[in-house]
Amino acid sequence: MKYLHEFRNSRQAQALVQSIHRVTTRPWTMMEVCGGQTHSIIRNGIDQLLPDNLELVHGPGCPVCVTPVKVIDRAIAIAAQPEVMFCSFGDMLRVPGTTGDLLQARAAGADVRIVYSPLDAVTLAKKHPDRQVVFLAIGFETTAPANAMAVKLARQLGLTNFSLLVSHVRVPPALRALMTAPDHRVQGFLAAGHVCTVMGWQEYLPIVAQYEVPIVVTGFEPLDVLEGIRRLVTLLESGQSCVENAYDRAVVDQGNKLAQATIREVFQTTDCEWRGLGVIPQSGWCLADAYADFDADKRFDVSEVQSEESTICRSGEVLCGLIKPYECAAFGHQCTPETPLGATMVSSEGACAAYYLYGRHEKPRGSIV
């Protein structure tokens, strides 16, 4: 496929692997903060091709996975109301809440619909003026512009039956939280290219300066990931703390100014809870005061819903890069894609799902190179 097979060339991949081996002289731990990169790493066995003293840990880069249980519980409570048509991307339907998920709510009679864009939900609101249409707006900076545009369009159309249940999170505050955690061991980050297409990479500069940690922006194909690793190891070995853009075919330093302006108009920053990381100051977005009438939380008042995490699922530790999925006793036993205990086993970008799908059910015995 054009523009894909060029980044899956095995000969070039082997050359990059050899280059990484040559440049690595000391132990290093780096974290990718993107679920798409995690799946690329595990699917292609990239982590098994690296030097034994170079470890990749998986961070909170899956938008479904970092959505807290209480948001799922609120979504279920709203969906259960008879006047509501609840809309979501498909991978959110099986994310477990305290006592169930949205798929079970639909089986019980709730009008829960899978859409492919928030604009689809706006269209449904226009077609069904007698129903309250709610869209579950989750994700990082990547999905925020489209969700903001949906709200703007709903206002332009004069729709009073459309709202968002918002759980948007921002990457830079999460990196700060990881770097200030007492048990952190991350020495460098691979940053997600799609986030940076929207926000650019300059907002990482203060993090680099404060924590003296290098960051390399990269993509999702095997050669993208390997080149990002090569550059990050080179920076670590030379003691340089800076930001490098290894995804310049899509990312520019300032990002997409129009998308950023749309986000600023519709959303405002707020403290936000992350699964596994807890509440991180100013790490999320909520609807700005000017658009508060589109806030499903306020429209349906489900803030009193009580939530509780699974006591045996360790997905929070996986999201913080503290353990690998196979180190959780429930992995592959009580917790499988058919019977998930946590979002990391449900999402197509979840680390636990990747490890299960590609047969990583136990700690590898050593590098194959």
**Nearest-CA neighbor of 186 among 196, 195, 194, 176?**
176
pLDDT at 4: 64
Q: How confident is the model over 208-261, as pLDDT tens digits?
A: 999 999 999 999 999 999 999 999 999 999 999 999 999 999 999 999 999 999
Q: Are strands 278-287 and 162-169 parallel, antiparallel or unpaired?
A: antiparallel
Q: Render the burial of 189-225: b for 16+ CB within 10 Å, e for the rest.
A: bbbbbbbbbbbbbebbeebbeebebbbbbbbbbbbbb
Residue 5, pLDDT above cutoff 90: no
Residue 364, pLDDT above cutoff 90: no
pLDDT at 7: 75
pLDDT at 369: 36
- pTM greater than the 0.85 cutoff: yes
Taking the C-alpha atoms of residue 351 and residue 340, their distance in angstroms, rounded to an integer, is 13
Q: How confident is the model over 85-130, as pLDDT tens digits?
A: 999 999 899 999 998 999 999 999 999 999 999 999 999 999 999 9
Chain-centroid distance of CA 289 in Å reads: 26
Whether the Cβ atoms of residue 305 and residue 316 lie closer than 8 Å to each other: no
**Nearest-CA neighbor of 162 among 45, 326, 293, 33?**
293
Residue 275 in 3-state DSSP? coil
Q: What is the mean pLDDT of the chain?
A: 93
Taking the C-alpha atoms of residue 64 and residue 84, their distance in angstroms, rounded to an integer, is 22
Q: How confident is the model over 8-27, as pLDDT tens digits?
A: 788 899 999 999 999 999 99
For Cα atoms 268, 269, 270, give the angle at the middle one, nearest 5 degrees.
Answer: 120
Taking the C-alpha atoms of residue 277 and residue 144, their distance in angstroms, rounded to an integer, is 21
Q: How confident is the model over 31-79, as pLDDT tens digits?
A: 999 999 999 999 999 999 999 999 999 999 998 999 999 999 999 999 9
Q: How confident is the model at residue 365 (pLDDT cuts 50, 70, 90)?
A: low
**Nearest-CA neighbor of 318 among 296, 351, 357?**
351
Could you tell me which residues come within 8 angstroms of residue 324 by beta carbon, excluding any fewer than 6 positions away? 57, 58, 318, 351, 355, 360, 363
pLDDT at 277: 85
Taking the C-alpha atoms of residue 250 and residue 110, their distance in angstroms, rounded to an integer, is 40
Domains of the chain: 1-312 (3.40.50.11740), 315-357 (no CATH)
Residue 2, pLDDT above cutoff 60: no
Residue 1, pLDDT above cutoff 70: no
pLDDT at 184: 86
Taking the C-alpha atoms of residue 346 and residue 316, their distance in angstroms, rounded to an integer, is 14
Q: How confident is the model at residue 199 (pLDDT cuts 50, 70, 90)?
A: very high
Q: How confident is the model over 253-311, as pLDDT tens digits?
A: 999 999 999 999 999 999 999 988 899 999 999 999 999 999 999 999 887 788 888 88
Taking the C-alpha atoms of residue 181 and residue 184, their distance in angstroms, rounded to an integer, is 5
pLDDT at 306: 84
User: What secondary structure letter does DSSP report for 100?
Assistant: -
